[in-house]
Amino acid sequence: MLNTMIKKWGCKMKYVVDSKKMKEIDKYTIDVIKIPSLVLMERAALKIVAQVTQYIKKEDRILVVCGPGNNGADGVAAGRILFLQGFQVAILLPFERNNCSKEMQLQLTIAENLGIIINNSCSLIEYNIIIDAIFGIGLSKPIRGELAELISEINRGNYKVFSADIPSGISADTGKVLGTAIKADYTITFGYMKQGLLMYPGADYAGEISLADIGFPGKALTYVGADTFYYTNEDLSKLPMRKKDGHKGTFGKVLIIAGNIGMAGAAYLSAKACYKTGAGMVKVLTAHKNRDIIQTLLPEALFAAYDLDEDLPSIIAWADVIVIGPGLGISEKAEELLSLVLSQNKIPLIIDADALNIMAKNLDGNYISWKERLNKLNAMLPKHTILTPHPMELSRLLGIDLSDISHNIFDIANQCSYNNEIVYVLKDARTFVASAGKKYINISGNNGMATAGSGDVLTGIIAGLMAQKVSFYEAACLGVYIHGLAGDMAAEKTGYYSLMAEDIVEAICGVLSR
C-alpha cells in the first residue's frame, strides 16, 4: 500500500527517474543552471533533518553512517545541523578520508571544526538512531566484506533507520538488492522518485518514503526528458465528468465477450466492475449455459449467447468498447470470436486472459528475438487496443521464460511503449502501462489482490472508463490505479488473506466517491 506511504514536500509532477537521468538532472542543475552543489547538499540535509526530527527525542543518540561520496556528504551535513540543534550526533566513516569526494571532505572539515565526533569504527549499540548515507543512487555493484557486515549489524539491531535518497545497497534502477541492503524505516529521496524505490524488493526496504524538493529546476528535467510517472490520489480528478442531463447511452456501451461453460464468474466480475465504474450499458456475450447465473447475479446486464444462432457481427457493432478473453477458454469458438473482433478496426478493444493465450498460440514460430515477436503481435492488432497480460501470459506472448520477465521488465516496458496505437498493461506487483513513449508505474494495491478474478475486475474498470470517452492510454493508467485503490480499501475491511475479487468490485464506489 505504498500510495499512502509517499509524502511529498513541495515536489514536482510525479515523474520517476533512473540513476542515469537523476545524475544528468543533477549535472545540468550545477553546470548549466549554476546552482552550486553545496546549495543542493544543504537543502537535502535540511530535508533529512526535517524528517528525522519528527520521530526523535533530545535524549536519542544519532549515528550518521557515511560513504565517501556526495550521499555521505548529505549525511554529514544533516548530522551537523542536528548537532547544532542540540542532538547527540556522531559520524561513522568506514572509508579512507583521502578517498572521499571534494564535497565530502569539506563537510567532514566543517563537522570537525564544530567538535562532532568522526570515527572509522565504533560500537553501534551506543546509538538508537541511524542515518544511512553510505551509498546513493550511483551504486552498481554488490556490497561485500566489512561493509556488508556493517549493514547486516544495522539491520539486526533495534534502531530507527533513516536513509538518504535510497537505502544503501538498493539499485536505483531496478529495486534489486546489490549483495545486501539497509532495511530503512524512512527514506528521504530528493527531487524525483527513483525507479528502485517503487519496484520490489526496493519498495520493502525503503519503508515510508518522503519525496523532497531540494531545488532541481523543471528545466533540468525537460532537458533530460522524463517518460515514466505514477499517480496519487489527486489524479482521481482525471475521472470523466458525469453530465447532469446524460442518459445510459451517454456513458457508453460495453460488450464483454467472456465466460466459457463453468466460467461465468469471470464474465460477471468484469461486467459488474464495468457498471460500477460508470458505463451506461453492458452486454455480456457468453456461453448460453451461463444465462441464469449472469441474469441472476447481474440483472442490469444485457445478455447474448455466442454458442447459439446469434448475429455476432451485429452484436459487436453495437458496442462502443469491446472486452474479450476473461474465462473464455481457447476452443475453436473462442478463436473464431477473437478473429471476428480483430477484423474490425474501429471499436476500442481490450484483450485479456484466454484471448491473450490464443494470440500467443497463433504467434508460435521461429523468431529472432522476443522483440521481433512483439512487433509481429503489434501487427496483428487493430488500433486502440489494450492488452492486459499477467507475467505468465506475457511469457507466452513473448516466447521467453517466466523468470526472464522480471529481469527484463524495464526493457520490455520500454519496447512496448514504442507503439503509439497499442497499450500494454503489464500486470504484476508493480504494474506498468506502456504506450506512446510513456510508462506508468502503479503504486496502489496490495498482495491480497493476488487472487482469482482480480484481473477480470481490472479489465471491467478500464472498459468502463473507455466507454465514458477517457483516452485509451489514460483509461488504462487510471483503471490500474483505481483497481489498486479499491483493493486497498477492501483490504481495510477483509484483511489481505481474505480479500476476494468481488470485494474489490464493491470497493470501487468508495474510491470514485472520494
Same-domain check for residues 245 and 221? no
Q: Are 422 and 385 in contact (CB under 8 A)?
A: yes
* CATH number of the domain where residue 496 is located: 3.40.1190.20
| Known binding positions | 70-74, 132, 136-142, 165, 168, 266, 327, 390, 427-431, 455-456
Cα pseudo-dihedral 39, 44, 49, 50, rounded to 10: 100
One DSSP character per residue, 369-433 reads -HHHHHHHHHHTS-SSEEE---HHHHHHHHT--HHHHHHTHHHHHHHHHT-SSEEEEE-SSS-EE
Q: Are residues 356 and 505 in the same domain?
A: yes
Does one domain contain both 352 and 410?
yes
Residues 187 and 285 in one domain: no
Rounded CA gap, 366 and 395, in Å? 15
Closest CA to 73 of 107, 49, 27: 107
- Structural domain span for residue 359: 235-512
Long-range contacts from 23-32, C-beta under 8 angstroms, 24+ separation: 23/137, 23/138, 24/220, 24/223, 24/224, 25/191, 25/192, 25/216, 25/220, 25/221, 25/224, 26/191, 26/216, 28/219, 28/220, 28/223, 28/224, 29/215, 29/216, 29/217, 29/220, 32/220, 32/223
Known binding-site positions for (6S)-NADPHX: 70-74, 136-142, 165, 266, 327, 390, 456
DSSP letters spanning 163-187: EESS-TTB-TTT--BSS-----SEE
| Residue 343: partners with Cβ closer than 8 Å, 6 or more residues away | none
For 254-274, give the DSSP string.
Answer: EEEE---TT-HHHHHHHHHHH
> Across the strands, what pairs with 385?
349, 422
Cα dist from 471 to 168, 348, 495, whole Å: 40, 10, 34
* Residue that terminates a domain, selected from 225, 259, 281: 225
Residue 163 lies in a domain: yes
**Same structural domain, 293 and 197:** no
Q: Is 453 helix (H, G, I), strand (E, B) or coil?
A: coil
Q: For residue 89, what is the DSSP state?
A: E
Q: Is residue 272 included in any domain, yes or no?
A: yes
Count CB atoms within 10 A of the CB of residue 32.
12
Is 186 within 8 Å of 215 (Cβ atoms)? Answer: no
Q: Which of 82, 74, 32, 30 is nearest to 56 (CA)?
A: 82
Give the global pTM: 0.94
Rounded Cα gap, residues 426 and 326, in angstroms: 16
pLDDT of 13 reads: 55
Annotated binding site for K(+): 71, 132, 168
Domain assignment present for 230: no
In angstroms, how far is the first alpha carbon of the chain from the final one? 17
Do 150 and 282 lie in one domain? The reply is no
| Residue 418, CA distances (Å) to 116, 176, 227, 411, 436 in order | 53, 25, 11, 11, 6
Q: Which residue has the cell 442518459?
A: 247
User: And the C-alpha cell for 147?
Assistant: 561493509
**Confidence (pLDDT) at 3:** 45
206 part of a folded domain: yes
Q: Is residue 437 part of a domain?
A: yes
- 248 and 178: one domain? no
148 is a domain residue = yes
The 186-190 sheet, strands edge to edge: 6-9, 208-212, 186-190, 160-164, 129-133, 61-66, 88-92, 117-119
Q: Are 427 and 458 in contact (CB under 8 A)?
A: yes
Q: Are residues 140 and 240 in the same domain?
A: no
Judgement on whether residues 122 and 171 belong to the same structural domain of the protein = yes
User: Domain boundary at 225, 250, 268, which?
Assistant: 225
CA distance linking residue 474 with residue 470, whole number of Å = 7
> Binding site for AMP: residue ranges?
427-431, 455
Residues of the chain with pLDDT under 70: 1-13
Has residue 295 been placed in a domain?
yes
Closest by CA to 272, choosing from 326, 231, 319, is: 326
**248/368 same-domain check:** yes
121 lies in the same domain as 262: no
Boundary-marking domain end, from 225, 250, 272: 225
Contact 90, 75 (CB under 8 A): no
Total domains in the fold of the chain: 2
CB burial of residue 56 (10 Å; 0-12, 13-18, 19+): middle
- CATH code for the domain of 118: 3.40.50.10260
Indicate whether 363 and 495 sit together in one domain: yes
Question: Alpha-carbon Rg of the chain, whole angstroms?
Answer: 26
- Is residue 140 included in any domain, yes or no? yes
3-state secondary structure 119-167: ECCCCHHHCCEEEEECCCCCCCCCCCHHHHHHHHHHHHCCCEEEEECCC
